[in-house]
Amino acid sequence: MIKNWRANHSGSDLDAHHFEFAEEIRTGVALFPVPVETAGTTRAMTANRLFAMPWYVPRAITVDELLIEVTSAGAGATYARLGIYNVGTNLYPGTLKLDGGTVLTDSNAVVSLAISQALTKGLYFLAVICSGTPTIRGWKPTWTPLGSRSNSLDFVTASVYIDSEDPTELPDPFGTPTADFHEGYGNYAISSLD
């Protein structure tokens, strides 16, 4: 499951100056968007609020699934829409890369969408918006390219959001964020290597 760099390169390639640790990606497991300090937290969703979390992709991959974990179910027939955005101006979400579709959030479970989206090396954003108010698994990042808020340097910014969006489709482009937000919402991806 794990790409073994030394096994896939000849002896002439074995130079530490060319080794990129971040390119070593385990396939078939859920990947966090950014390095995580704590993944055991939960986040109550706000209906019609679109969240986007930065996701650094260190090498070409194909995303096979998008998933979230519902820890406290929303009302009957509530759902979450999941997607991927390209990076835009000043490291905010830009154009829509993929609207993956919806998963029901009316029961406690890990719910996923099977997709097939090729991504090249670079920065992307994983997006989630809910039609109701379920609680989903969240995380606290140790690092993110979005930096820290200037008025409080005690934490990093893990996501941005826009209020009053329509959960029946993801906007393209993302638009101007309502605010930066401290903690991450639990979007994950499962990928295979290209």
> pLDDT tens string for the chain (194 positions)?
333 333 344 444 444 555 565 566 666 666 656 555 555 678 889 999 998 888 888 889 899 999 998 999 999 999 999 999 999 998 889 999 999 999 999 999 999 999 999 999 999 999 999 999 999 987 766 666 666 655 555 555 667 788 888 999 999 999 988 877 656 666 666 677 76
Q: Quote the pLDDT of residue 151.
A: 59
Domain containing residue 46: 31-193
Residues 101/84, Cβ–Cβ less than 8 Å: no
The two structure tokens encoding residue 35: 């390095």
Residue 172, domain member (yes or no): yes
Residue 17, domain member (yes or no): no
Specify the CATH number for the domain of residue 113: 2.60.120
Question: What is the number of domains present in the chain?
Answer: 1
Residue 188, domain member (yes or no): yes
CB atoms within 10 A of CB 68: 27
Residue 26, domain member (yes or no): no
The two structure tokens encoding residue 87: 């990076």
Residue 177, domain member (yes or no): yes
Residue 43, domain member (yes or no): yes
CB atoms within 10 A of CB 146: 21
Q: Are strands 61-72 and 188-193 parallel, antiparallel or unpaired?
A: antiparallel
Residue 18, domain member (yes or no): no
Residue 44, domain member (yes or no): yes
